[in-house]
Chain A
Amino acid sequence: MYRFIVRRLIWMIPSFFAVSLVSFIIMRLPPGDFVTSYAADLATSGAPADQATLDNLRHHYGLDRPLYVQYISWVANALQGDLGVSFEYRAPVADIIWSRLGMTFLVASCTLIFVWVVAFPIGIYSALRQYKLGDYLVTFLGFIGMATPNFLLALFVMYVSVVYLGYSVGGLFSPDFVNAPWSMARLADLLRHLWIPVVVLGVAGIAALIRIMRANLLDELHKPYVETARAKGLPELTLTLRYPVRIALNPFISTVGWVLPTLVSGDVIVATVLSLPTAGPILIQALKTQDQYLAGALLLFQCIFVLLGTLLSDLLLAWLDPRIRYDR
């Protein structure tokens, strides 16, 4: 088992370099660079900059160096913990990312818990009552949930909360609490706002999970071991939860690691619509303006999270299900 973990960790090193290279190339694929997009931005706001200013800027940011030099110095600095400077915010990338990661983590974990708590019981119920009224109802709602684009849902929920519930628009806090120190009142304010992104982000996930849980469980419910257990007289509920549900959980455990990368980008569009102080809107903005080190750092983080998340999932799965351990 330890050899397995070590082997996986060693493999992460070349993966990291490959991923960093791909991130960098993706960022530089669009024509022009940050200064080009900055110039376009200025010109369309009615304040065009002259060529000398732009050349100054390009030199200041080191964008006039050859691409491979830019890449090597970026990676070398990143390995020493220096992620570079965001051109747009004119601030160290690390500051920007860390200041947002806390809220991102909060939203993502609340959403995950919400999804699981709602989806598992419904999924199980739906499988046990296959082709009954309850199953049809849940299936119907589930498909609607899956088919509704969540940014649209976000707009809808936001509108309702503003117009009928008297909330302030967007964000995770009311304006008075945004920069206030932590207190019970601020916590209450946060909870009052938090349910919106959690519900909006959770709905599609819940719908999908219900379907997966139902399908997985249906595969298991008619297997001989279930019949055997039933024949031996186990109560139906105990039986279901103890055997088929545990096996039906495998796909969830093997995907739990995928939650990690969503910390960076899972909620990009919804977070933009709701003006959440999370990492998603920053990533999309950085990509739009070609703010290369900020976007690069976020993409890099995301890739590292994918690698770590996959490892985590594998370990959890091995722990949960003895049948798939490597070194039996």
Chain B
Amino acid sequence: MNFRSWLTRAGGGLVATAGAALVGFAVLTGAAAADYHQSPTLDDAVKSGKLPPVEQRLPENPRVETPVEQVGQYGGTWRSGMVGGSDRNWMFRITGYEPLVAWDRDWTGKVIPNLAEEFSGNADATEFTFKLRKGLKWSDGQPFTSDDVGFFVNDIARNKDLFPSPPDWLTVDDQVGEFTKIDDQSFKIKFASPYGLFLQRLASVYGVQIDMMAKHYCSQFMPQYNKTNLDQLIQQAGVKSWSELYIKKCAVDTEANERWQNPDRPVMEPWMIHDPYVGGATIVTFERNPYYFKVDTAGNQLPYIDKLQISVNGDVQTLVLKVVNGEIDYQDRHINSNSNRAVFLDSAQKGDYRLIDEKNSDMNTAIISLNLTHKDPVKREIFNNKDFRIGLSYAIDRQSIIDSAYLGQGEPWQAGPRKESAYYNERLAKQYTEYDVKKANEYLDKAYPKKDDQGFRLGPDGKRISFTIMVIPALGDWLDATQLVAQYWQKVGIDAKTQTVDRTLFYDRKDKNDQDATVFEGSGGSADAMLEPTFYFPFWNESLFAVPWGDWYASAGKDGEAPPAAVKKQMDLYRELKGSADAEKQKELFKQILDIAADEFYAYGISTPGDLYAVVKNNMHNVPVAWTAWTYPAPVASNTEQYYFSK
């Protein structure tokens, strides 16, 4: 299958324009220009001439968004909350996602037009062409053109002061993509070698970086553009260098606090910051972007909601109380733990809100990884003994753990993609998950039959097999499960102990490869499995079962430690996958990777996590039951701009 047909498939229901040299997506045409409407709050500004009329603010071909339930009404303030001074990603999650190309609302893995109305790639996935909507404007009314994208790719991403190492999603084989302008709306990005995942990466959360910086505003902070008063600006801002000034004004990093600190920076997002998120702020507010490029099916310019108001809380419990008290319109972050569910249901009537389910994209509640690259040769030998690992898996009573630690939600599951996922692999997900002490002992007897007088098994060096499982009690719901697992392992003669550590110590140890075993959450369970295969092969230093192998892969063999043949095979397959332009072939290659993962059986999973939920005020509508993930930043990727309040 060639790239063209792949695009058609990847694009799903969208129609590829036939016969064109470039395969572009025809875009659903919007309502006629005369029919556009705007929020009444903007009427005065238009009448007085401060703002041009809505037709002139919208692009020629605005993105027409179909509301989840119905066409909404303008108005209202969306109240939510953050905890602490560095909770910036909540804002990312409700208004910070406006990429060139986006995930579809249902996150089937499709990539759809957003700022770019057409996009395509060549057959070997080295060159990608984009066409922007004509007449797009930044929130200050200046046009958004190819030059803005070129500014990021050429001037920012390649700048060693701002990016000592370039952004990962725009890089193949350590080389940043080449930008070529065709005209004000069209441009190409070319890579040195095939990059089959580029469009998915562009639609993923970090891809928004490419349209975060308005050239006309941000270039004034760079020495090559501003020859007149840069020194003065640096002094005024109280910083030491132009790069510090640039970061302060235009952020650079998508997850930086600075992104929410400068109300002057133009944005393409539905709301723009008004009261910034600076140190000491107790409330952060946003106002509508009058130049936002989307309309609903009736020609109303989005967003519907006028303002965002986000309180900065010291403690999660304060936020919980705010929800109960009806002071929050939509919130999931921080508060949607299982233990709070009953509290919220109790007060739902009084607080006038409802709970909406969210599909959890994680594949596991807790992944327990023995360190297959242990520094101690004896432990390494033991952990690498597959019979030993299988025996330990049979020894875990996952159903009891689910019942006691996870309120009975979920099913026994290893480290494999979820059932709903396109990459579901039954063997990887379900093998060795039944609780069978007899089988466990059989396998362990094959490996290490000798026991000491207390009934603990002896390793190859004649000493008791003993290790600690490192767990961070402050994060996640892992401690109870881990303690139970350690007890089950004790019962089959393995001296496993739980060790609680602070998260920094956890990270310090695993980066130095000083751990015996670790517990962490199993992310990458749905459409993101292929983009973030952390527990399917040693992909990077978050692959806790073999950090040095992960380092080896991530650094292309420069750091870490060379892995054995089967792992190398997986790495080769993944490289091939990244270089492939064909979605079906990518899927096929990924299946091979997962099959090897099942053979190798790297880490233990406990269970699939249960559904999550969001608390939503009864008068807020158009809120879908959506995935919650990071790669598909929820809830913004389900189009928060079309949420509305009924009167």
Q: How distant is the Cα of A289 from the Cα of B205 in the complex, in angstroms?
A: 24
Q: Which of A89, A159, A163 has the most CB of B within 10 A?
A: A89
Instruction: Say if the beta carbon of B626 comes within 8 Å of chain A.
Output: no
Contacts of B284-310 to chain A: CB distance below 8 A = 285, 309
Instruction: Say if the beta carbon of A224 comes within 8 Å of chain B.
Output: no
Q: Is the CB of A89 within 8 A of B85?
A: yes
Closest to A40 in B: B503
Closest to A39 in B: B507
Smallest CB separation, A124 vs chain B (Å)? 37
Q: Is the CB of B630 within 8 A of A45?
A: yes
A46 contacts which chain B residues (CB < 8 A)?
Answer: 362, 521, 523, 629-630
When the two chains form the complex, which single residue of B258, B280, B315, B325 contacts A90, counting CB atoms closer than 8 Å? B258
Q: How distant is the Cα of A52 from the Cα of B165 in the complex, in angstroms?
A: 6
Q: Is the CB of A52 within 8 A of B168?
A: yes
User: Could you mark each residue 17-42 of chain A with 1 if its beta carbon is under 8 Å from any beta carbon of chain B, else 0?
Assistant: 00000000000001111001101111
User: Could you mark each residue 216-237 of chain A with 1 if its beta carbon is under 8 Å from any beta carbon of chain B, else 0?
Assistant: 0000000000000000000000
Smallest CB separation, B281 vs chain A (Å)? 8
A56-B163 in contact given A36-B504, A47-B630, A88-B85 (Cβ < 8 Å):
yes
B139 contacts which chain A residues (CB < 8 A)?
Answer: none
A162-B508 in contact given A175-B283, A179-B283 (Cβ < 8 Å):
no
B313 contacts which chain A residues (CB < 8 A)?
Answer: 170, 275
A36-B325 in contact given A52-B168, A275-B314, A275-B315 (Cβ < 8 Å):
no
Closest to A99 in B: B280
Q: How distant is the Cα of A175 from the Cα of B205 in the complex, in angstroms?
A: 30
A179 contacts which chain B residues (CB < 8 A)?
Answer: 275, 283, 285
Q: Is the CB of B165 within 8 A of A53?
A: yes
Binds B, one of A129-137, A206-214, A240-248, A276-284: A276-284
Q: How distant is the Cα of A285 from the Cα of B312 in the complex, in angstroms?
A: 13
Q: How distant is the Cα of A282 from the Cα of B84 in the complex, in angstroms?
A: 8
Q: Is the CB of B86 within 8 A of A88?
A: yes
Q: Is the CB of B321 within 8 A of A32?
A: no
When the two chains form the complex, which single residue of B238, B247, B318, B502 contacts A170, counting CB atoms closer than 8 Å? B318
Q: Is the CB of A289 within 8 A of B280?
A: no
Instruction: Say if the beta carbon of B443 comes within 8 Å of chain A.
Output: no
Q: Is the CB of B505 within 8 A of A30?
A: yes
Instruction: Say if the beta carbon of A50 comes within 8 Å of chain B.
Output: yes
Instruction: Say if the beta carbon of A149 comes within 8 Å of chain B.
Output: no
B377 contacts which chain A residues (CB < 8 A)?
Answer: none
User: Could you mark each residue 31-73 of chain A with 1 if its beta carbon is under 8 Å from any beta carbon of chain B, else 0?
Assistant: 1110011011111111110111101100100000000000000
Closest to B534 in A: A48
Q: Is the CB of B321 within 8 A of A89?
A: no
Instruction: Say if the beta carbon of A138 comes within 8 Å of chain B.
Output: no
Smallest CB separation, B81 vs chain A (Å)? 9
Instruction: Say if the beta carbon of A127 comes within 8 Å of chain B.
Output: no
Contacts of B317-336 to chain A: CB distance below 8 A = 317-318, 321-322, 324-325, 327
Q: Is the CB of B279 within 8 A of A273?
A: no
When the two chains form the complex, which single residue of A86, A175, A285, A289 contacts B79, counting CB atoms closer than 8 Å? A175
A99 contacts which chain B residues (CB < 8 A)?
Answer: 279-280
Smallest CB separation, B547 vs chain A (Å)? 10
Q: Is the CB of A32 within 8 A of B280?
A: no
Q: Is the CB of A48 within 8 A of B542?
A: yes
Q: Is the CB of B280 within 8 A of A277?
A: yes
Q: How distant is the Cα of A289 from the Cα of B83 in the complex, in angstroms?
A: 14
Smallest CB separation, B363 vs chain A (Å)? 12
Size category of the B interface is 35 or more
B520 contacts which chain A residues (CB < 8 A)?
Answer: 43
B325 contacts which chain A residues (CB < 8 A)?
Answer: 162-163, 168-169
Instruction: Say if the beta carbon of A111 comes within 8 Å of chain B.
Output: no
Q: How distant is the Cα of A63 from the Cα of B238 in the complex, in angstroms?
A: 21
Q: How distant is the Cα of A179 from the Cα of B280 in the complex, in angstroms?
A: 11
Instruction: Say if the beta carbon of A96 comes within 8 Å of chain B.
Output: yes
Instruction: Say if the beta carbon of A150 comes within 8 Å of chain B.
Output: no
Q: Is the CB of A100 within 8 A of B280?
A: yes
Q: Is the CB of A274 within 8 A of B314?
A: yes
Q: Is the CB of B630 within 8 A of A36?
A: no
Q: How distant is the Cα of A95 from the Cα of B239 in the complex, in angstroms?
A: 13
Instruction: Say if the beta carbon of B638 comes within 8 Å of chain A.
Output: no
Instruction: Say if the beta carbon of B432 comes within 8 Å of chain A.
Output: no
Closest to A34 in B: B504
User: Could you mark each residue 266-286 of chain B with 1 if its beta carbon is under 8 Å from any beta carbon of chain A, else 0?
Assistant: 000000000100111011010
A37-B504 in contact given A42-B255, A282-B85 (Cβ < 8 Å):
yes
Smallest CB separation, A74 vs chain B (Å)? 15
Instruction: Say if the beta carbon of A290 comes within 8 Å of chain B.
Output: yes
A158 contacts which chain B residues (CB < 8 A)?
Answer: 318, 321
Instruction: Say if the beta carbon of B13 comes within 8 Å of chain A.
Output: no
B256 contacts which chain A residues (CB < 8 A)?
Answer: 90
Instruction: Say if the beta carbon of B490 comes within 8 Å of chain A.
Output: no
User: Could you mark each residue 174-193 of chain A with 1 if its beta carbon is under 8 Å from any beta carbon of chain B, else 0?
Assistant: 01001100000000000000
Q: Is the CB of B507 within 8 A of A40?
A: yes
Instruction: Say if the beta carbon of B554 comes within 8 Å of chain A.
Output: yes
Q: How distant is the Cα of A29 from the Cα of B502 in the complex, in angstroms?
A: 13
Instruction: Say if the beta carbon of B513 comes within 8 Å of chain A.
Output: no
User: Could you mark each residue 77-110 of chain A with 1 if its beta carbon is under 8 Å from any beta carbon of chain B, else 0?
Assistant: 0000000001011111001100110000000000
Smallest CB separation, B628 vs chain A (Å)? 9
User: Could you mark each residue 232-275 of chain A with 1 if its beta carbon is under 8 Å from any beta carbon of chain B, else 0?
Assistant: 00000000000000000000000000000000000000011111
Instruction: Say if the beta carbon of B28 comes within 8 Å of chain A.
Output: no
Instruction: Say if the beta carbon of B200 comes within 8 Å of chain A.
Output: no
A175-B502 in contact given A91-B278, A99-B279 (Cβ < 8 Å):
no
Jot down 6 A-B pairs with beta carbons below 8 A, ordered by A: A32-B507, A44-B476, A47-B255, A50-B168, A168-B327, A285-B85
Q: A30-B504, A39-B507 are in contact. List 8 more A-B contacts (CB 8 A).
A: A40-B504, A50-B541, A51-B555, A92-B238, A95-B278, A168-B327, A175-B309, A275-B315
Q: Using a CB–CB distance below 8 Å, which chain B residues touch chain A?
A: 79, 84-86, 89, 163-165, 168, 205, 238, 247-248, 255-258, 261, 275, 278-280, 282-283, 285, 309, 311-315, 317-318, 321-322, 324-325, 327, 362, 472, 475-476, 502-509, 511, 520-521, 523, 534, 540-542, 551, 554-555, 629-630
* Shortest 9 CB-CB contacts between residues of A and residues of B: A96-B279, A99-B280, A32-B504, A46-B630, A40-B503, A52-B165, A89-B279, A272-B314, A178-B283
